[in-house]
Amino acid sequence: MQSLKSFTVISLAAILAYFEPVHNVLAAVLLLFALNFLFGLLAGLVVKGEKFSFRKAFVCIREVSVFLLIFATVFFVGDHLGARGESLQAVSTIAYALVYFYAVNICKNLRELFPQSKPISYLYYLLSIEVLCKLPLLNNYLKAGNHDAHLA
């Protein structure tokens, strides 16, 4: 039993050491996930009068797990193809897109929690509309309607 624990700890340490170059991205995504989860939960409970839903919570957790798996896979494949720098750039690009969608969703939930707050309302407007004007490809994608535009 002790050897299994040692093997598990050593294996986990090796995996964490390998993914050290992207640990900042992973930490940022986990922080945004936690904030998104918290403010979504509060908006649901306080504003909408919803009860806590394990199903909705697990959807959110499953979603962030998929994102983390994508980051790890992109980095792993790029690194093994001898393109570590390019894989780091790809992970960063994916992370920026994810940060944008999480930030919009967090601001939406904050706006529901604080409907009288002009700064929060303006920040939501700025992120959800004005940023799209500067990013035509993202705007076209969102207008196409072939997606689910919100995060859990």
Q: What is the pLDDT of residues 54-75, one digit of tens each?
A: 898 899 899 999 998 999 999 9
Whether the predicted pLDDT of 140 surpasses 80 = no
Whether the predicted pLDDT of 33 surpasses 50 = yes
Q: Which two tokens stand for residue 45?
A: 């409970």
pTM of the model: 0.75
User: How far lies 80's CA from each of 18, 69, 77, 85, 86, in Å?
Assistant: 12, 16, 5, 11, 11
**Tell me, what's the pLDDT at 126?**
85
- Mean predicted confidence (pLDDT) in 90-115: 90
